[in-house]
Every structure is written in C-alpha cells, then in structure tokens.
Copies of this chain bind each other. A is one copy, B any other.
Amino acid sequence: MSAYRELERRFARIAKLRDAAGVLHWDQSVMMPLGGVAARAEQLATLQGIIHELLTAADMPALLADAAAPELDDWQAANLALMRRAHGHAAAVPGDLVEAFSRAVTGCEAVWRTARQNADFAMLLPSFAEVLRLVREIAAAKGAALGLTPYDALLDQHDPGRRSEEVDRLFATLEAFLPDLLQRVMERQRRRPPPLGLTGRFGEAAQRTLGEQLMRALGFDFHHGRLDSSQHPFTGGVPEDVRITTRYAEDDFTTGLMAVLHETGHALYERGLPAAWRYQPVGNHAGMTAHESQSLIVEMQACRGRAFVDFLAPLAQRTFGGEGPAWRAENLYRLYTKVEPGYIRVDADEVTYPAHVILRYQLEKAMIFGDLQAPDLPGAWNEGMVRLLAIRPPNDREGCLQDIHWPDGGFGYFPTYTLGAMSAAQLFEAAERAAPELEGSIGRGDFGPLTGWLRANVHAQGARLDSRALIARATGRPLDPAVFRRHLERRYLAE
C-alpha cells in the first residue's frame, strides 16, 4: 500500500493547489480591478507550473506502477485509475507550455472583456491567435501520448472517456429532429397571444433577496458559500465554500433569477461530493457533462416546469410588488418557456440551445484540426448561425465574441452543455420514476425528494464513474436522445 499512500499524499497537495487557483479565478472574475490582471496571470501560471511539476515528478511512473495491489478497494482502484489518467494528460505536455498557456489565457480573457464590450474582434485577434496556437500544440501532444485525435484529447479533459465519434452521432440525431420540432413550437406559439412582459424597475437588492430565498429552498448553505454578481454567471470556489454568481438587469428579474437557480444546481453537486474522498481525484466531480446535468436538472427540468413556476409566481409578486395578469403563474410560465431563435447562447431557450452548441462544436473542431484559422472565425460563425438558426448576428459582440470559453482556453468544453441537457432530462425521468411525489413537492418549493435522489445517485458518486457510466447506472441505460426529445415535446407541444 505504501506507493498508493504516497500517491494519495501527493494528489492531496495537488488538489489543494487547484483549490487555491479556483479561489484566485473567482476573485479575478468578481473582485479584481482590471489593473491586477498581469500579476494574477503570473500567480495562476506559477500555480499551474507547480501542479504540473508535481504531476510529472520523475518517480511518478514508478509509483503509479507499484501502487496497484489486490488490497485496494473499488474506490481506491478508481482513484488510482484517475491518478494515472491525470498523469497521462500532464506528462504529455512540457511544463513551460503549461505555464505559457496559463499566462496566455489569463491575458486573453482580460482583453476579451473589453473586446466583447466594443464588439471588436480585431482587438482580440492577436492574443486569441496565440491561445489557439498553444491549444493546438497541447492537443497534438496529448493526442499523440494518449492515442486520441487532438480534439478528443481536449474533450477528454472536460468529460473523461467522451469521444467525438459519439458526440457526432448524438448531435446528428438532434440536428435531424430539432429543426422540425422548432418549427412546430413556433407555429403553436404564433397561434396564441404572446405572453405579457413584466415591466418595472427590479432593484438588485430585492432580486438578490429572492434569489437567496430560493437558494435556501434548494438546500444551499450560506455558511459554506456566497452569491455575488459577475459579467458571466458561474460557479467557483471549493466544496466547503461554493461561490455562485449571477448578473442583475434592473428591467428584468427573470433571467438573473434563473441563473441563480442554474448555478445553485452546480453548487449542490460540489457540496454533495463525497467528503471521505475530498482532495483525492475520485472525490472530484465526474466531468463537465455531469456538472451541467446538475445545473440543468435544477434549472430546466425542475424550475422551468409548471409546478415550480406556480410556486414562484406569488413569491415574485410579493418581492417586487407586482400586480395584474402579467404576474400570474400562467403568464410567468409562458415567459419562462418562450422559444425564439436568438444570437446569444446564454439567453437561449432549451429548444434552440443545442444549435448554439453544435455550431461551437463544429467550429472548434475545425480550429483544432487547422481547417479554420483564427482570423476567419467571425465569418464562419455568422454563416453557421444562418445555416442552423436562420439568423445573422449584427456584430461580433452578439456573434463570436459572446463566450468566455475560447479566450479562456476552454476548447472541447462546449459539447458538454448539450450532453448535460440530455443527461438532465434522462436523470429527471429516472428520479420521477423513483420518487413519484417529486413534482408535487417541487410545487410546494420542497426540493428534498429531487436533491436526495441526486445526492445518492450523482453527487456522492464523485468521479468513481465517468459521466457516461454514471448516467447509465443512475437511469438504467446509456444517454438516449429520445428522452430529451420526449421532454421537449411534452413541455412545448403538449395539449
């Protein structure tokens, strides 16, 4: 056991350095003045460099070879497999490339904030081209070492075990049925009067109070977390101190509120990870498809459902002093399930969202394989939007500059949004089978049956299984686009 124990000691150190980097990243997005960006880039690059050194220490291969032993239990064996995986990813890339990449993305992310605001792709291009160059280098190195295509090597970072062959197949199924489904939903909407807008000034303090109330209903513990605001909602921090953010618009509370619920789903996953395996690879989440399934099961499956909106409507009325037909649950539900092709992914409804993801997936594969160069991105983006959603962005702010992911180096990440949405639908169906009182309890603002089932079947599993095996175990079968289709048809085409 001694080699295994030594590995546990080392990986705990690595996990704590990752936690430190996580807090620094939260601070950068929420607190840091812009003038701090160069120094922050140095801090994060140094941490990444040291993590890389620890992962690729000269005696690591021997320790990993010696650690296998019949005494290891299931969790320990899974932990060892994840250590080998982490070493494989790290050893494929030289340390100076890791530090250069970390520095490049921190810098590029900072430029992106201004470039996006000014809709100025030319401003972003130099630093983005450099990030892309480094990502390609990393993808090629990892692909060669791990026996994967360069793109699959990146995808595997975010969703262990996932391959683009499967994603191609799943996305092709979506591409086959979604355009027709979208047409039918749009027609059905057109036959009815449009939902009434909720007009007024919705103060940030009131929005925050309502958000916190719903977070508590979902089981968020403010002794172990915070709610703040940032340009782009996200979940950061560490399991004992989970930090979610949203953004507040004074003329619309519905979007910021739904972002709070979405991020709370992420936060509950982090808080529910197995404490006994904290600081070990197997105590981590099961990748970004699993993570997104947890935010989307809360947002899309539970909170945009009619039962929850019936619970929410009177709370919102009381919080904002709303009156009249626009504030009735029926109208709020129609606002929360309105379908309309638009330019912005994060504002998209669940029927058109997959088109946004498929576009990014196709473009990032092309960039990684060298079939698309950085300067040509805006044009390819706009053509893709016309092809997939029949709309053309008026500028790059509403086009290829909208997302933080690529400037932040996150290639191979986008597919997990839609894989997560499909997983959420399948998990929710399984949870309803297991706990038939689920929908009724959500209608009373009681998430206990849902979160209890998720804790046991998803959160507490840590990274023992990859997201594909996790979904199959929790729902009884592999990821199936038919379940997602059924969910959309029920919600958007029933009656």
Contact = CB atoms under 8 A, between A and B. Distances in A.
A390 interface: no
A100 to B, nearest CB: 15
Nearest to A279: B42
Interface in A1-28: 13, 16-17, 19-20, 23-24, 27
Contacts of A27: 23, 27, 31
Interface residues of A, number: 37
Most buried by B among A40, A239, A279: A40
Given A20-B20, A24-B23, A46-B17, A223 B35 contact: yes
A38 interface: yes
A49 to B, nearest CB: 8
A47 interface: yes
Contacts of A237: 36
Contact of A13 (B20, B46, B222, B226): B46
Contact of A47 (B17, B40, B226): B17
Contacts of A238: 36, 39
A221 interface: yes
A49 B12 CA distance: 13
B39 A241 contact: yes
Interface string A214-236: 00000001111110000000000
A34 interface: yes
Given A13-B49, A31-B31, 6 more contacts: A16-B42, A17-B50, A20-B20, A33-B223, A35-B241, A39-B240
30 contacts: A13-B49, A13-B50, A16-B42, A16-B43, A16-B45, A17-B43, A17-B46, A17-B50, A19-B42, A20-B20, A20-B43, A20-B46, A23-B24, A23-B40, A31-B226, A33-B222, A33-B225, A35-B223, A35-B225, A35-B240, A35-B241, A36-B224, A36-B240, A36-B241, A39-B238, A39-B239, A39-B240, A39-B241, A40-B241, A42-B279
